[in-house]
Structure 1
Amino acid sequence: MALDVELADLRDFLAEHPPFAWLPKTVQEALPARASVVYRRRDSVVLPAGEVPTELLVVRSGAVEVRDAAGHLVERGAAGTCLGGTALRNGAPQPTTAMAIEDSLLLAVPADVFATLCADHPDLAAFFAAPLGGRLRSAVARQREDHEPPAGPVLRSRIGDLVRRPPVAVPLEATVRAAAQRMTEERISSVLVTDGDRLAGILTDRDLRGRVVAAGVDTGVSVAEVMTPDPITADPDALALEAMLELVRRNIHHLPLLRQGRVVGMVTATDLLRLEQANPVHLVGDVAKATDAAAVAEVAGRLAPLVESLVRQGSTAHDAGRVVTTVGDAVERRLIELAEAELGPPPVPYAWVTLGSRARFEQALGPDQDHALVLHDDATEAHDAWFAELADRVTLGLERAGYPRCRGQKMASNPRWRMTLAGWERQVMRWLSAPTPDAVLECSVFFDLRHLAGDASLSEALVEHQRTSVRGSPLFLAYLAGAAARTHPPVGFFRGLVVERSGDHRDSLDVKRGGLLIVSEVARVHALAAGSARTNTLDRLEDAESDGRLSSALAADLRDAWEFLGHLRLRHQADLVREGRVPDNWIATDALSSFEKQHLKAAFGVIRSAQSALAMRYPVRAIT
């Protein structure tokens, strides 16, 4: 009787912990009788490196830590932690050493039983076949499959997938008549105009009506005289959704696709709308039509339900972030346009730049404002009143639209965040030459910068100045690395997740500050050191990997950890929207399944490893 109770207890234990929780109940009930329980005293070796395991070990009680060949901490785990599975599955030597850091009981599953489980249950086999990052990737996929049906076509398709024919083009010296004849023969509504291998322009049906027929222009003239020069283009690997939003925002109907400067195809608004009538497109279109700030705020209020819809469609955190960011961009641009219409033309050229998560295309619900103004060097103190009024109107409009003011006052309405190009370049050099911890904290957001409105050449000049200056400032990079390594993920020294013990967020953890933001900070340091001008976290990890600053394995693990954490936040915020509550980044751990908790700890473990690698590359300890 006592034995039956013990076996039942082990069965219930396995049913609570992945990957055994995924097994059929009959298998869960039979497994305990085929396994044994072993005891390991504190500070003893549980599983040595260099040997091929003969059994899978599962921590039943107690705690273990896993270290690599260099002695660096890889993971600390408690009940449910599996040891030796990947090495056993692959028939390879164990790469790490597992030590008991408490007196521990472990369930030992013999190799032959483990092999049978892997053969009969693909999910369990995949769990142990993949490294940590791969398991996180599988976890995201499993969550999305379990939660809602797959995303609609507009969220999944790449623009290049819509191309059904080679691009049709005429040379720059062709006549309008010849171009029109080619369009008729090919049954198309536009034709590309090329100058050698370079895309010079595009001629559309609308151009023919408005610039030729209506204007009485001779069809024998060169197509160069009536075409639309330097048309807006897109990368064929971009999401179809992004293309739809771009067409709506710019009121155009044709989008040439370029890869490495070479035209590879053309898509039209009709091609894209055939996918589906996507809510984000209509929302952005309505923002563009808003006649005042109040109307902009009313349309922006539809963003939260949109995010809830994206989750129902199975969107990834990366794709959802781009959609939410694009809507936010549309709101901010429209407020700038409305303010300009009332204030009149600017006294000198300017660039409105967005900062932080918006600049990284990673905005979620509930973000505050982060923006700045870059003025032409001809700007004087007499011009500041116009720009101050512009900034105040846009900041107030954003606040009314659901974007709170930045608590650190990193907004164009603050004179410190409103300078000429030369002034910003001097400020960047001051930050780089005297990188105190407080200065780094203030300026780090400025190195996530993206042009939003106005004269793009000003933004481009500032980004290039930052890129070249930072790369030559190892002391600043070290301080930036110190800031990235200073914040610890919310996972305990021995086991468990660290949560708030009191207040409004009791028993919850901040998945943004304790996870997503750290990944972004690590990626920023490596990308800036590599001379990258890109802002998106996943893009920066790619550039850091290409430059050799991150190993391929760690870069992949960080990407998967970022997506896993982002998906948890996305789903959490969607749940709050559904309940009519204000979205935030605080996730209650009691709302998570055992599967999610285990992978949340794994994601935080990846982040800690990345912080350790960062600290080894830069003299972090000497300056923090």
Structure 2
Amino acid sequence: MVDVELAEVADFLAGHAPFEALPGTVLRDLPARMTSRYHRRSTRLMTVGVDNNDLIVVRSGAIEIRDADGDLVSRGGEGTTAGSTTLVGTNPSRFDVVAIEDTLVLLLPRGVFHELSAAHPDFADHFDAERADRLRMAASSVATNAAGQAILRSSGRDLIRQAPIVTVPIDATISEAATVMTTQDSSSVLVLDGKRVAGILTDRDLRRRVVARDIDLHGPVAPVMTPDPVVAPAETAAVELLLTMVERHVHHLPLVEDGQPIGVVTSTDLMRLERVNAVHIVGDITQQRDVAGVVEMAGRVPRLVEQLVEQDVGAHDITRIVTSVGDAVERQLIALAQDELREDHGPPPRYCWMVLGSRARHEQALGSDQDHAVILADDAPDGAEEYIAALADRVVEGLEAAGYPRCEGDVMATNPRWRQRLRGWRREFRQWIHEPVPDAVLGASIFFDSRPLHGDEALHDRLAEDIATWVPQGRKFLAHLTKEALAHEPPLGFFRGFVLARAGENRATLDLKRGGVGAIVDLARVHALGAGLVSVNTRARLLAAGRVGAIDADTAASLVDALEFISHVRLAHQARQAAAGTWPDSRLRPSDLTAFEQRSLREAFHVVRGAQQTLSQRNPTQYYT
């Protein structure tokens, strides 16, 4: 290029991101390191499967980018770039780039691209953001059905639009309430105190609290209604309504707007909407009177997951549903075990049964093993330990029969280490945090992902409050925890090819858990604990850490998208295994993935690797052993 043309190119670049952020001296010298090329309309600039070694910058005209399946990725005119993924990742190209008008492009060689990326972070960040946008689109696309509508995203308002609200005043009689329900052909009636929902009366309430007890029908409705019921805003998404019903064990959920009721959503409404039967499964589990019945109900979970995956429900919501069913299974097994022990041991001592790991985070998938522990009250009577041991034996056996394998690391309440009085737990945690060794770090990190499931939740709350005050003081402990978080590298090679197992029964497979889901969980835990955040769920931890600046907000959002996509691929794989009658795991062969899934997994793993590198640079761990 002649000097005049070089000056014009520099002016052009100065008007477009990311070149506009480059220093003036760099920008003035850059055109001499680039070449120009003219392409007629319909000319292919890049081809799927063919190496590309230049960043393409459109100076005039327009291009479109399509993936290997022919789906449109983007279109752009002046200033549009293409080819960055082949420069920072793998060759050959994963995209077709075609001129849709007569087009003049500038070509920036690979070496110059890397030189600029290394010397100017804003330049590199621009292309990282492009990849993050593609990952976000991928995460979103797996939660959308073939018609392009988000599954279970209808609002509660949509579900009740055709049904009139059925109410009676607080001073109504039982007979008057039943008459209104019959006249309106409704399975429930809201009881109002003025405009406020004071209670709800359902068909089940009438059977169990009125008919079965021979209550006078002319008496007031208030004593037999469910007071202060769970309510939800009218615009709540159907999937959130479903999860609320499952987690709170209700079949009728009043919807409110500006504090006033506008209708009631029932479990039947949701079943009709999406054929999701999680509410019914949980309800059936709570009705079982022996372990065999609970085991039979738990056997429905794989088919439930298969249905949810087929309907493209998001991974975040699927794991919450699976967790809620798992909670119901474990609670019912505890209740049955307590009934069995009551004859010989009397009532149970004061204790709290906790779930740990993925269940505590509401992130349980298929094939998850057991992780639980017990806090026994300090004032529990002598012999309470023997009771808890007997209880744990029965619950663990029941869970194993229901499809939840025993923990290989023995992190279960059957292990005396994982059932202690409160003072014993407090003593152990003080030592873990202030004198950390690898085993202590593992034990503490497991407990940080804990949630009370049954019993006296105040015991868990007291221990959690103590730990929250100790952790910020344990800088060495946090350093060890950081080191553990960096140990699980994503299965991605230097040139962004997948790293597969080389030997054994898992040969040539990709592990989606260890360096994928697990790595993100570890990163979220470190950032949350370091910032003193109390969230347990990984998604909530990342977003909260991003809000307080413990992690870059864009990085947090990208990790959330990466978690969603990797988890969805994992769940789809597990659903296929369950349908085929094989035990679900987190290992699959890349050949079983579509081109879209392979491409997006690479992007997701790249995000994880970048977040680990940033954490490593911010918190060096090489001095801790």
Q: How is 1:508-587 mapped onto 2 (pairs within 5 angstroms)?
A: 508-587=509-588
**Alpha-carbon separation, structure 2, partners of 1:613 and 1:259:** 44
**Residue 323, structure 1, aligned to residue 336, structure 2:** no
C-alpha change, 1:54 and 1:246, in structure 2 (3 Å) is closer
Instruction: Give the alignment partner of residue 80 of structure 1, picking from 93, 115, 126.
Output: 93
**Following TM superposition, by how much is the alpha carbon of 1:350 offset from its aligned partner in structure 2, in angstroms?**
1.9
Q: CA deviation at 1:230?
A: 4.5
Letter in 1 for 2:328: A
Please report how far the alpha carbon of residue 527 of structure 1 lies from its aligned counterpart in structure 2 after TM superposition: 1.9
1:501-528 deviation line (CA, Å, top 9, x unaligned): 1111111121111111111111112222
State the partner residue of 2:114.
Answer: 99
Residues 11 and 515 of structure 1: CA distance in aligned 2, closer, same or farther (over 3 Å): closer
1:183-211 C-alpha deviation (Å, 9 max, x unpaired): 959967433566998x7655667767846
1:143-158 alignment to 2 at 5 Å?
155-157=152-154
Question: Hey, what does 2:311 align to over in structure 1?
Answer: 313
Partner SS for 1:99: helix
- Is 1:78–1:496's contact at 8 Å kept on the other side of the alignment? no
Given that 1:370 and 1:411 are in contact with CA atoms closer than 8 Å, whether structure 2 keeps it comes out as yes
Deviation track 1:440-466 (CA, whole Å, cap 9, x = no partner) reads 122211111112222233333333333
In the other structure, the counterpart of 1:215 is: 215
After the TM superposition, which residues 63-462 of structure 1 pair with which residues of structure 2 at under 5 Å, given as runs? 64-65=87-88, 76-80=89-93, 98-99=113-114, 131-142=130-141, 155-157=152-154, 159=156, 162=159, 175-176=171-172, 189-192=188-191, 201-202=199-200, 210=209, 214-216=214-216, 227-233=225-231, 240=238, 243-244=241-242, 247=245, 252-256=250-254, 266-269=264-267, 271-344=269-342, 346-462=347-463
Distance in 2 between residues matched to 1:469 and 1:262, nearest whole Å:
44
Counterpart amino acid of residue 228 in structure 1? T
- Aligned-pair identity in percent equals 43
Is the Cα–Cα contact under 8 Å of residues 378 and 423 in structure 2 kept in the other structure? yes
What is the CA-CA distance between 1:275 and the residue it aligns to? 2.8
Following the alignment from structure 2 to structure 1, what is the Cα–Cα distance between the partners of residues 544 and 393?
37
Seen in structure 2, the aligned counterparts of structure 1 residues 55 and 602 have a Cα distance that, compared at 3 Å, is closer
What RMSD, in angstroms, separates the aligned Cα atoms of the two structures?
4.5
Match of 1:56 among 78, 82, 90: 82
Residues of 2 paired with 1:237 and 1:444: CA distance?
37
Residue 115 (structure 1) aligns with: none
1:13 maps to 2:49 = yes
CA contact (8 A) 1:515 1:607 kept: yes
- Residues of 1 paired with 2:71 and 2:528: CA distance? 46
In structure 1, C-alpha distance between the alignment counterparts of 2:298 and 2:203, rounded to whole Å: 34
Q: How far is the alpha carbon of 1:238 from its aligned partner?
A: 6.3
For residues 248-298 of structure 1, the C-alpha deviation after alignment (integer angstroms, 9 at most, x for no partner) is 787644334589999887534454455354333333333223332222222
What residue number does 1:612 align with?
A: 613
Is this contact kept in 2: 1:58–1:82, CA < 8 A?
Answer: no
Instruction: Indicate the structure whose relative CO is greater, using CA pairs within 8 Å and at least 6 residues apart.
Output: 1
Whether the 8 Å contact between 1:236 and 1:259 is mirrored in structure 2 is yes
Q: How many residues align?
A: 542
Cα distance in 2, alignment partners of residues 376 and 261 from structure 1: 40
Q: State the distance in 1 between where 2:556 and 2:462 align.
A: 29
Query: In structure 1, how many angstroms separate the alpha carbons of the residues matched to 2:180 and 2:583?
Result: 55
* Partner in structure 1 of residue 602 of structure 2: 601
Identify if the C-alpha distance between structure 1 residues 418 and 84 changes in structure 2 by more than 3 Å, giving closer, same or farther.
farther
Matched to 1:215, the amino acid is I
* Letter of the 1:424 counterpart: W
Given the superposition, is the C-alpha separation of residues 207 and 592 from structure 1 closer, same or farther in structure 2, using an over 3 Å criterion? closer
2:367·2:585 contact (CA, 8 Å) conserved in 1?
A: yes
Which amino acid counterpart does residue 82 of structure 2 have in structure 1?
A: L
Q: Per the alignment, do residues 596 and 269 of structure 1 end up closer, same or farther by CA in structure 2, a change over 3 Å counting?
A: closer
Which stretch of the first structure deviates more once superposed, 187-196 or 512-521? 187-196
Q: Give the Å deviation of 1:390.
A: 0.8
Q: 1:427 to 1:84 in 2, by over 3 A?
A: farther
- State the match for 1:475 in structure 2: 476
**Alpha-carbon distance between aligned partners in 2 of 1:454 and 1:522, rounded to the nearest angstrom:** 31
Distance (whole Å) between structure 2 residues aligned to residue 179 and residue 244 of structure 1:
31
Mean CA deviation greater in 248-257 or 599-608: 248-257
Deviation, structure 1 residue 304: 1.8
Identify the residue that residue 123 of structure 1 maps to in structure 2.
Answer: none
Q: Residue type of the partner of 2:573?
A: H
Q: What is the deviation of 1:438?
A: 2.5
TM-score, normalization by structure 1 = 0.74
Change (3 A) 1:243 1:346: farther
TM-score norm. by structure 2 comes to 0.74
| CA 1:13–1:468: 2 relative to 1, 3 Å | same
Structure 1 pair 225–578 and aligned structure 2 pair: CA distance change class (3 A): closer
